[in-house]
A and B are shown apart, each in its own frame.
Chain A
Amino acid sequence: DAGVIQSPRHEVTEMGQEVTLRCKPISGHNSLFWYRQTMMRGLELLIYFNNNVPIDDSGMPEDRFSAKMPNASFSTLKIQPSEPRDSAVYFCASTTGNQPQHFGDGTRLSIL
């Protein structure tokens, strides 16, 4: 049974470039979450979707960040333009009902 799949696992790019992170949730899960993890701020919820609809994006740091979920099996988190302070590990998680969240292994993003 495949878990949450994130790509790429690592991304290094220069500031000002567009970055797109991808997530495939577990089949049958109808809720999807994007988190950011840094040493300074810990694990922060950025946005979550229910049935492909964004429910709460209050954690999205600024307009440079956007997330989409065009269908039940795919979501993207985009940063444009990227800045060095966006460097972090970005996690995607999915769940259904009241079940615990299942996390992917994250994308380690470095903005130079």
Chain B
Amino acid sequence: NAGVMQNPRHLVRRRGQEARLRCSPMKGHSHVYWYRQLPEEGLKFMVYLQKENIIDESGMPKERFSAEFPKEGPSILRIQQVVRGDSAAYFCASSPLGRTSGDTDTQYFGPGTRLTVL
């Protein structure tokens, strides 16, 4: 059973370009979470999705950022018109049961995508 997969592992974009980050959850997991980690900072929640639905996007900036988790295929985090402040590591996690299941649900993290904006 492969773990959470993210690609690309490293992404370089110039200011104003678009960045697309992909996440394939573990087999059997229908809950996906995106986090951002700035250097020397803890992970910050961005968005929580279940197949075809956004459950919680309270941590995601209202402009330029969007996320989806289609019925088929990976989850996508999209950043339009990137700025230097978007440079960070973006981690995806998946879980089998979801946040409302309580103590028994564990999130499994992917290796992250390191975005650098020039």
Asked if chains A and B come from one complex, the reply is: no
